[in-house]
A and B are shown apart, each in its own frame.
Chain A
Amino acid sequence: ELKVEQNPLFLSMQEGKNYTIYCNYSTTSDRLYWYRQDPGKSLESLFVLLSNGAVKQEGRLMASLDTKARLSTLHITAAVHDLSATYFCAVDIITGNQFYFGTGTSLTVIP
């Protein structure tokens, strides 16, 4: 059974601080996605990581993928309140568009 685990599940951090969210998955995959979800809303695509060693950055967020370790990280730099949301990683293991999502990390940035 494929497992996608994120930690931490809940994260409360002060503005200006740095932190990393971890995503571990239990099967071979070269495709890892990060999504953001605001309360009551749909999923917003943040990053698409398509190969081992891939690193992508957008603003205060940076994502990386290590397919050998089956690990992806989402690093937050100098957090701001607007980053408060739930973040999901998702693994795509077969033909595409069959995503298996992690448990989610609920991030709260405190002013």
Chain B
Amino acid sequence: DAGVTQSPTHLIKTRGQQVTLRCSPISGHKSVSWYQQVLGQGPQFIFQYYEKEERGRGNFPDRFSARQFPNYSSELNVNALLLGDSALYLCASTTLPPVAAFFGQGTRLTVV
């Protein structure tokens, strides 16, 4: 069975640009959540989606947005990139209630 897949794996962007990250959950999982992990820190919760509806939002600015599609895949968008947005972005999928959350390999975003 395929796990959680994220694309791209690496990305380099310039300050002020916009970026879209993609996530495909495990088959049968309807909940997707996004996390930002800055080097040396634990992952920080950004968004959770379930059945295409936003179920939760972490303490991130409005430059961050996301959506979930009918096939339960998800996109994370970040506008007006800042240097501080450089991080590993992780996607997790799970059933609800969760037995465990499974993480993708992540997208490493570098803003220069």
| Chain B residue contacts of A92, Cβ below 8 A | 98
A88 touching B48 by the CB < 8 A rule? no
CB-based contact B55/A95 at 8 Å = yes
The answer for the CA separation of A100 and B101 in the assembled complex, in Å, is 12
- Distance in Å: Cβ of B3 to nearest Cβ of chain A: 9
In this assembly, does B44 line the interface, its C-beta being within 8 Å of a C-beta of chain A? Answer: yes
Nearest CB to that of A103 among chain B residues? B42
> Number of residue pairs across A and B with beta carbons under 8 Å?
74
| A33 CB–B CB distance under 8 Å | yes
Could you mark each residue 41-76 of chain B with 1 if its beta carbon is under 8 Å from any beta carbon of chain A, else 0?
111110010100001101000000000000000000
On chain B, the number of residues with a Cβ less than 8 Å from chain A's Cβ atoms is 29
User: Main SS of chain A's interface residues?
Assistant: strand
Query: Which of A35, A88, A97 lies at the interface centre, i.e. has the most chain B CB atoms within 10 A of its CB?
Result: A97
Give CA–CA (A42, B92) in the complex, Å: 10
**Given A95-B56, A98-B45, A102-B42, A45–B102 Cβ distance below 8 Å?**
yes
Contact of A33 among B35, B101, B105 (CB under 8 A): B101
A80 an interface residue at 8 Å Cβ cutoff?
no
Q: Please, which residues of chain B bring their CB within 8 A of the CB of A35?
A: 103
- A101 in the interface, Cβ–Cβ < 8 Å? yes
Size range of the chain A interface in the assembly: 20 to 34
Give the Cβ gap from B23 to chain A, nearest Cβ, in Å.
12
A45 to B4, CA, bound (A): 13
Nearest chain B CB to A35 CB, angstrom units: 8
Determine if A98 and B99 form an interchain contact, defined as CB atoms under 8 angstroms apart. Answer: no
Could you give, for residues 19-34 of chain B, a 1 whenever the CB lies within 8 Å of some chain A CB and a 0 otherwise?
0000000000001110
Q: Whole-angstrom distance from the CB of A108 to the nearest CB of chain B?
A: 15
Q: List 16 A-B contacts (CB under 8 A).
A: A4-B42, A33-B101, A35-B103, A42-B104, A48-B98, A88-B42, A88-B43, A95-B50, A95-B97, A96-B97, A96-B98, A97-B32, A97-B33, A98-B33, A98-B48, A101-B42
